[in-house]
Amino acid sequence: MKRTPLTLPPALAVVLASALALAVVQQQLLARRPPRLLALEPQVHSSGPAALDLRFSRPMQRASLAERSGLQPPLAHRWLGTDTRLRLLLQPGQVVRSPLSLDLAGSDRRGLPLAAQRWNWDPRPLLLVVAEVTGGEQLQILKPDGRWQPLSAVLPRIPTLEPLADGSGVVFLASEGQGLHRLWKLTLRPRSLLRAPAATALPQLGALVPLWPEPLSFAHASSNRRGDLLIQVGGQALGDGRTVWIDAGGRRRDLRMEVSGPILLLPEGEGMVVPTPDGLELRALGGNGNGAAGSMGNNSGEIGGRPQILPGSRVLASFCPASGQALLVRHWPDYRRSLERVQPGAAPLTLWLGSEAVMAASCDQSGERAWMLLNRWNGSFANELVQLDRSGRIVARRDLGGWSPEPGTPLSYDPVGDQLLLTLRSDPRQPARPVLVNGRTLELRILRHPVRQAFWLPAG
């Protein structure tokens, strides 16, 4: 049987030919289109003082970016990554003392140039405090010129404050009297990275939104770099406590968990550290890898199919986020204390063991250096700041003299400026002060501003 060749109507043939020609033209135009910068985001947790993550429309020649781009002031840096995703990393051992200018230029793998552009970037975290003011307390931030910028109205008392890890806001508890409080979130729009000629600026104030509809007796919050938030709250009735997960999109989920203290989210969002009567437990956020609130329903407390439990009386003191390590303070039955460095899958390494009380501790990004604030009794109470190296050898010590830490306040490390932040008080009848500590010499710089608490707010 002889087949008849298929013929198309002339009009349809013209349409198909035109579509094919258009596709070829579009392909040629796209092939000749120069590369574009699609995203530029600060990266807080890196092995150096700071980093930028860049995403391009086309695979780039990393060597051309390194050759044609530059930083002012000219800090040492290197380029990492391949294809369309690269990272500019400031080399370790440097201190950023002023805003930076990035002149960005280079070529993609076809040799087509990226349009030259300049960005202003200030990776330094901001000093955020609960300040003592006339009529009560107020959230304030330190401006580059040394003046303090209010972030909130004057409130009777602000007992709890949590700067969000991505720099997008602050969660705080405001007192209403008679032991009751309201939990609020103040949203902020970071402006630490702007296209020139616009200069970097303080974060832009956003909405002030309630995180809980009823008055609370207490609340604790923890956040991660992905924008997720976990809150533990206690109501007015005994046993009326809840733990709630709020993902970056605002979706909520109640978590039914047996805990014995504050829960802390891992900085990069892979899980959370949960204190239990049996020890510290590392729990996954869920099996789908995106941290969605709905993925936490089974509450299995397992990672990789096996529970991650560290028994004993331990308290998480600080994360060393670039290395995946953390510092723990262990309480022994004979009343001694030890400082331990731990990472998943490895036994804790004891850095220090003694009879003094460890009031707070912190570490740098890589875990190479650690600091602890000790309180000891030798006829009278004395406080000392101690720096340790990776093996636990004491590198430097600083007696704080008549200064003592404000109870419950952290010892926080800023890798951009290589400095620590403390909240210290010299006299019980006088307000506390924010104190900046050089990360290597332990030299103190006391700011004459009355505060209750002081924290670093990431630049975002």
Task: List the CATH number of the domain containing 80.
Answer: 2.60.40
In this prediction, residues 305-316 reach a mean pLDDT of 80
Stretch 101-109: mean pLDDT: 97
Counting every residue written for the chain, the total comes to 460
Q: Is pLDDT above 50 for 205?
A: yes
CA distance 448 to 268: 35
Three-class DSSP category at 175:
strand
| Tokens representing residue 11 in the block | 């009009």
- Count of domains for the chain: 1
CB crowding 190-226: b at 16 or more within 10 Å, else e: bbbbbeeeeebebbeeeeeeebbeeebeebbbbbbbb
Residues 129-150 have a mean pLDDT of: 96
**Is the pLDDT score of 118 beyond 90?**
yes
What is the distance between the alpha carbons of residues 457 and 183, in angstroms, rounded to a whole number? Answer: 19
Average pLDDT over residues 217-242: 88
pLDDT at 114: 97
Average model confidence (pLDDT) across the chain:
89
pLDDT digits (tens, 9 = 90+) for 158-183: 999 999 999 999 999 999 988 899 99
Rounded Cα distance between 291 and 268, Å, is 10
What radius of gyration do the chain's Cα atoms show?
A: 26
**276 part of a folded domain:** no
DSSP state of 10: H
pLDDT at 219 over 90: yes
Query: Which of 182, 156, 141, 159 lies closest to 452 in space, CA to CA?
Result: 159
pLDDT in tens, 337-383: 999 999 877 889 999 999 999 999 999 999 999 999 999 887 678 99
CA dist., res. 312 & res. 329, Å (int): 11
- Convert the pLDDT of each residue in 37-63 to its tens digit: 999 999 887 888 999 999 999 999 999
Q: What is the pLDDT of residue 303?
A: 32
C-alpha distance from residue 428 to each of 43, 117, 135, 375, 433 (Å)? 40, 53, 20, 16, 12
Residue 63 lies inside a defined structural domain of this protein: yes
Q: Is residue 52 part of a domain?
A: yes
Prediction pTM value: 0.87
What is the separation of C-alpha 91 from the centre of its chain, rounded to a whole number of angstroms? 20
In percent, how much of the chain has pLDDT > 70? 88
Q: In angstroms, rounded to a whole number, what is the distance separating the alpha carbons of residues 340 and 136?
A: 39
Question: 67: domain range?
Answer: 37-121
* Burial classification of residue 358, based on how many CB atoms lie within 10 Å of its CB (0-12 exposed, 13-18 middle, 19 or more buried): buried
Q: What is the rounded distance in angstroms from the CA atom of residue 45 to the CA atom of residue 65?
A: 23
Whether the per-residue pLDDT at 421 is higher than 70: the answer is yes
Please spell the DSSP secondary structure of 11-75, one letter per residue: HHHHHHHHHHHHHHHHHHHHHHSPP-EEEEEEESSSSSS-EEEEEESS-B-HHHHHHH-EEES--
What is the DSSP track for 266-320?
-TTSSEEEEEETTEEEEEES-TTSS--GGGGTT---EETTEEEEEESSEEEEEEE
Structural domain includes residue 107: yes
Measured distance CA(88)–CA(66) in Å, rounded: 9
Q: Which of 170, 176, 68, 50 is nearest to 115 (CA)?
A: 68
For residue 300, the model assigns a pLDDT of 38
Q: Quick check: 26 pLDDT over 60? A: no
- Cα distance between residue 104 and residue 118, in whole Å: 6
Question: What order do you get walking across the sheet with 229-234 strand by strand?
Answer: 218-223, 229-234, 241-246, 252-255
Phi, psi of 265 (to 5 degrees): -80, 145
Q: Do the domain assignments include residue 93?
A: yes
User: Using CA atoms, how far apart are residues 228 and 292, in angstroms rounded to an integer?
Assistant: 9
> Residue 172 falls within a domain, yes or no?
no
Termini Cα distance of the chain = 74
Residue 405 to residue 20: CA distance in whole angstroms: 73
For the cut 90, the answer to whether the pLDDT of residue 74 exceeds it is: yes
Determine, yes or no, domain membership for 225: no
